[in-house]
Structure 1
Amino acid sequence: MNLQAEIDNLFSSQMKKWEQLRNGIKQLDDTEEKVITWGDGFNVKIQFNPARMVSTSAKIDKESIENRPCFLCEANRPALQKGILFMEKYIILCNPFPILRNHLTIPLHSHVPQLIRNKVGDMLSLAEQLPDYVLFYNGPKCGASAPDHFHLQAGLKSPQLLQGDNVLRSCLMIESGNKSEVEELFEDVYQYLHHRQPKEDEPMMNIIAYIEQNRYKLNLFPRKAHRPRQYYENGSKQLLISPGALDMAGMIICVREEDFKKIGTHDIEDIYSQVSLPVI
């Protein structure tokens, strides 16, 4: 049985036994969406998904992280949450707070920090076996709600997530039929971004990876800020949006109805300009 079929069976089994997952998928079924389009063909899908409030509002400062149990460690995961072993070091889990169809969380067994260097090959190996999926990575200061435990995420492909560079935000696109070449090119980009942000443990970034026509594709979104200023505003000026990989690709998640209703073209352009790092 191939891995995609195993994942389908996992979702079927978990849906029967795990009420939290059933509720999460039902909430995804009921989400409202709207699309904003720019003249160059780029479009952004806005999703109203209140179930993502915990992730969007997550505190990632050192004290907060140290004072809460890691929800990706096996000892702290729900008893009903089961998974599939991958590469003898990852566990593929159904995400009970989905943004995408078949939303997966894929943590390492080991409790190690969220740092992607030397793990891009693992990401591409998983993409090989999941041709209908996108894999994505949120850096420790770029949308990861568990920056203390390395993990990837995945979900079924959608057009918004396969968009590359455009005038609204930077996207460095790496493509090759050779996995090793993609890893080498990523290392070159990593070194360049590290030079731009030498004080960071890891250059700020989000990554989308997938397979298309037997070619490996890696879209890397360099970042200069974790959250836009609107996140910290009060009253009507506030937009509680904390961009991760999906937001940067073109699927912005709103956890409050008032944000979903009022967000418009100018807001999106402004948010991207604040958090995206221009590259030359």
Structure 2
Amino acid sequence: MDLQREISHLFSAQQRDWEQLRDGISQLDNLREKEFAWGDDYRVRLQFNPARMVSTAATISKEAIEKRPCFLCEANRPAQQRGVPFMGKYIILCNPFPILRNHLTIPLHSHVPQRIRKKTADMLTLAEQLPDYLVFYNGPQCGASAPDHFHLQAGLKVPLLMQGDNELRSCLQIESENKNETQELFEDVYQYLHHLQPEETEPMMNVIAFTEDNKYKLHIFPRKAHRPGHYYEKGKKQLLVSPGALDMAGMMICVREEDFEKISQQDIEDIYSQVSMPVI
């Protein structure tokens, strides 16, 4: 059985047996969305998704992480949650707080920090075996709510999230028919970004991988900030937006209705300008 079919069967079984997932997918059917356009060139879709509050508001300080049990480790996952093994070292799980259709979380069995270097091969293999999916990575200071446990995420393709570079934010694009070449080009980008941020353990970034037209494609979003200033404002000035890979690609998540209602096109431009790192 191919991996996509296994995942389809997993979702069917998990929706039957796991109420939390069933509710999460049901809520996805009723989410409010609206789009902003910059001419015919690029768009951003705003999604009001209150179930994502836990992720958006996550405290990722060293002290907070050490105090809480890791929700990606097997011992701490919900009793009803089942998964599909991948490559002998990952488990593919249904995400009960979805943003995309068939939203997956793919943690390593090992409890090791969120670091993408040397794991792009795994990411590309997953994208290869899931041709209908986008695979994405949030860096430890770029949207990952579990920076202490390496994991990828995936969901069914949305054309909006494959639009690549635009004037709102930087996106370095790699594509090749050869997986090894794609990995080597990513290493070049990684070294370049590391040169720009030598003080960081890992250069701040989000990554999206997918296959299209018999090519491997990586979209790398360099970051200079975890969250925009709007996040830390008080009262009516606050916008509780904490960008991850999907936000950077073009689907911005609002967890509060007031933010969804008031956010403007200028706010979106400002958020991107604060968190995206310009590259030459």
CA deviation digits over 1:14-53, x for unaligned, max 9?
0000000001111111110001000252000100000000
- The answer for the alignment partner of 1:4 in structure 2 is 4
CA deviation digits over 1:89-122, x for unaligned, max 9?
0000000000000000000000000000000000
- The answer for the alignment partner of 1:69 in structure 2 is 69
Percent identity, please. Answer: 75
Within 1, Cα distance between the matches of 2:221 and 2:240?
21
CA deviation digits over 1:219-242, x for unaligned, max 9?
000000000000000111000000
Work out whether 1:51 is the aligned partner of 2:48.
no
- The answer for the alignment partner of 1:202 in structure 2 is 202
Cα RMSD of the aligned pairs, angstroms, is 0.5
- The answer for the alignment partner of 2:255 in structure 1 is 255
Q: How does 1:217-256 map to 2 (within 5 A)?
A: 217-256=217-256
CA deviation digits over 1:198-230, x for unaligned, max 9?
110100000010000110000000000000000
- The answer for the alignment partner of 1:37 in structure 2 is 37
Unpaired runs of at least 5, structure 2: none
3-state SS of paired residue (1:246): helix
CA deviation digits over 1:47-96, x for unaligned, max 9?
00000000000000000000000000000000100000000000000000
3-state SS of paired residue (2:169): coil
CA deviation digits over 1:143-192, x for unaligned, max 9?
00000000000000001110100111000000000000010000000000
Within 2, Cα distance between the matches of 1:159 and 1:86?
26
Q: Give the residue type in structure 2 aligned to 1:137.
A: Y
Within 1, Cα distance between the matches of 2:83 and 2:234?
41
Unpaired runs of at least 5, structure 1: none
Q: Give the residue type in structure 2 aligned to 1:209.
A: A
Within 2, Cα distance between the matches of 1:20 and 1:109?
23
- The answer for the alignment partner of 1:104 in structure 2 is 104
TM-score normalised by length of structure 2: 0.99
Work out whether 1:215 is the aligned partner of 2:205.
no
- The answer for the alignment partner of 1:276 in structure 2 is 276
Within 2, Cα distance between the matches of 1:82 and 1:103?
14
Within 1, Cα distance between the matches of 2:277 and 2:48?
26
- The answer for the alignment partner of 1:138 in structure 2 is 138
Q: Give the residue type in structure 1 aligned to 2:93.
A: L
Within 2, Cα distance between the matches of 1:156 and 1:40?
24
Moved over 4 A (4+): none
